[in-house]
Amino acid sequence: MDFKQIIPSGLCLECRGCSRFSEKDSMWSPLLLDEEIEYLKGKNLLAGCDTKKKKLTTILNPIDENFVCAFLLPQDNSCRIYEFRPFECRLYPFLINRGKNKIYLAVDPHCLFIERNAATKQFQEYADYLAGVLKSPPWTRVINEIRDVIPEYQDVMNISEL
Ligand code: SF4
């Protein structure tokens, strides 16, 4: 169950935005699906998961005193579980966003790649592709699984109703 990525990994490694949070219980900390919790449990990585809230655990980053995902290696900005990172991590800077009585595919306009590319044909084509993927099975099941806990993000751009 996967989908194409649009952002070159080199750009992500340069940026210091993702996987960092201003609060310990940030709404931006990725949600975990039940199957992702089971998978991480099988790999003995449950210490990085808040299984009660079904979210990745955040820890204080001694470098800048913000909070970071427990799986982030701040020294080189890499992810310890990159190959099997959760759905919401693979989706970002796209997000599942709660609107008034509706659920949307949205994008975070503060992502460096989006700032530079939001007006391009490449971005539009990818956004259409992603919306199509998320409106089809098995992704409709995933959206339904998280429906009750989908956050209402501030300052994001809704792209397509899901
Ligand atoms: S699991 Fe990896 S990609 Fe996801 S928030 Fe943590 S460090 Fe970032």
Average pLDDT, the chain: 93
CB 84 within 8 A of CB 35: no
pLDDT for res 121: 97
pLDDT for res 68: 95
The closest alpha carbon to 123, from 5, 44, 6, 3, belongs to 6
- Cα 71 to ligand 1 centre (Å): 6
Determine the 3-state secondary structure of 114 from DSSP.
helix
- Cα 148 to ligand 1 centre (Å): 22
Span 52-96, pLDDT tens digits = 999 999 999 877 779 999 999 988 889 999 999 999 999 999 999
Q: Is the pLDDT of residue 117 over 90?
A: yes
Mean pLDDT, rounded, for 118-144: 96
pLDDT for res 74: 82
Please tell me whether the overall predicted TM-score, pTM, comes out greater than 0.85 for this model.
yes
Q: Is the pLDDT of residue 11 over 90?
A: no
| HSE-CB of 88 using CA atoms within 13 angstroms | 26
Closest residue by Cα to atom 8, ligand 1, is 19
Question: Ligand 1: which of 72, 77, 111 to mutate, judged by most atoms within 8 Å of the beta carbon?
Answer: 72
Residues 6+ apart with CB under 8 A from 81: 40, 43, 45, 48, 71
Rounded distance between C-alpha atoms, residue 41 and residue 63, angstroms:
28
* Continuous H helices in 15-138: 34-42, 87-91, 112-117, 121-134
